[in-house]
Amino acid sequence: MKQIFFVVFLCLFIVKPSFSQEVGEGKFSGLMFGDYFYNILRDSTINNLNNTGLTGIQDLQGFDFRRIYFTYDYRIAEEFSTRFRLESQTLVSVNNTLFLTYIKDAYLKWKDIFKGSDFIFGIQPTPAFVVAEDFWNYRSLERTIMDLRRVASSRDLGASLKGKITSSGSVKYWLMYGNGSAIGDESDKFKRLYAQVDLQPAEKWRMTLYGDYRFKANKEYEVINENFLNDALTTDVFIGYTEKDKFTLGIESFWQVTFNDNIQAEETE
């Protein structure tokens, strides 16, 4: 494992980025950032609380790699391209630090499957918070609200269609149908449907309207807990305004309803 990480790190620093790709050419790229952290003050019961964005006891401190990317992009033809990306993160606890490496992206993209729209198949980004994350451009410091609260995953395995509604690109759309199990294995027949409308009425303004529906099986009501939660509807609105090289303002709000469907017991005489 140490040898593998050494090779990856070496590639991250010695690979010369290529900003244009010809047909039949590939491109390696990498990204790495980390920090030193210190939990100066925490609730003593932080690890027992349900609705927390970050865990970790008071005085927990150390060095951490927040994100390591190793990416290979390949252009098969004028219309077809692929991406394969590995991500490595660290899980820091009181007793140990564990490096986890997994496949972040593995997809095929068909550019202009019809005018102004692309088709993508494989492990790919979801529409949930890509625009908000890019707008803030501070992912190295903190996640956006839906990512932090695990409302939706940044990745899913499925098929998507995205493109322009207007020729200027001021109105864009993004539709996706995926497993709904992030990058994990699919364990049932139920899926997740995503949709987003991306609006940019002016250069300084950005707005997204997002929604997804997670399909699950109906389950008989017993005790209300996570094992008996079924279909879920999630909506989100993001509005941002920026003055280049001066400041960025934004607001985002999401709403999620998780249905606990009851199966009516048959009446007996």
Q: Does residue 110 sit within a domain?
A: yes
> Same structural domain for residues 130 and 221?
yes
Per DSSP, the three-state class of 100 is strand
Q: Is residue 10 part of a domain?
A: yes
Domain boundary among 62, 93, 114: 114
pTM exceeds 0.85, yes or no: no
Q: Where are the beta strands (DSSP E) in 76-226?
A: 80-92, 97-114, 117-125, 155-164, 171-178, 192-199, 205-214
Query: Phi/psi of residue 52, each to 5°?
Result: -125, 145
pLDDT tens digit string along 147-156? 988 899 999 9
Assess whether 10 and 85 both reside in one domain.
yes
* Sign (positive or negative) of CA dihedral 145, 147, 149, 155: positive
Instruction: Tell me, yes or no, whether 47 and 87 share the same domain.
Output: yes
Would you place residue 240 in the very low, low, confident or very high pLDDT band (cuts 50, 70, 90)?
very high
For residues 266 and 140, membership in a common domain is answered with yes
Among 60, 91, 114, the domain boundary falls at 114
Q: Is residue 8 part of a domain?
A: yes
pLDDT tier at 9, thresholds 50, 70, 90: very low
Q: Are residues 163 and 228 in the same domain?
A: yes
Q: Same domain for 31 and 65?
A: yes
Print the domain residue range for 73: 1-114
Q: With 80 as the cut, is the pLDDT of residue 186 above it?
A: yes
Q: What is the pLDDT of residue 103?
A: 93
pLDDT band at 187 (very low <50, low <70, confident <90, very high): confident
Count of domains observed in the chain: 2
Examine residue 229 and state whether it is found in any structural domain, yes or no: yes
Establish if 120 belongs to a structural domain. no
In a domain, residue 121? The reply is no
Domain-terminating residue out of 83, 114, 145: 114
Chain segment 30-83, per-residue pLDDT in tens = 998 888 888 888 877 777 777 676 667 788 888 888 789 999 999 999 999 999
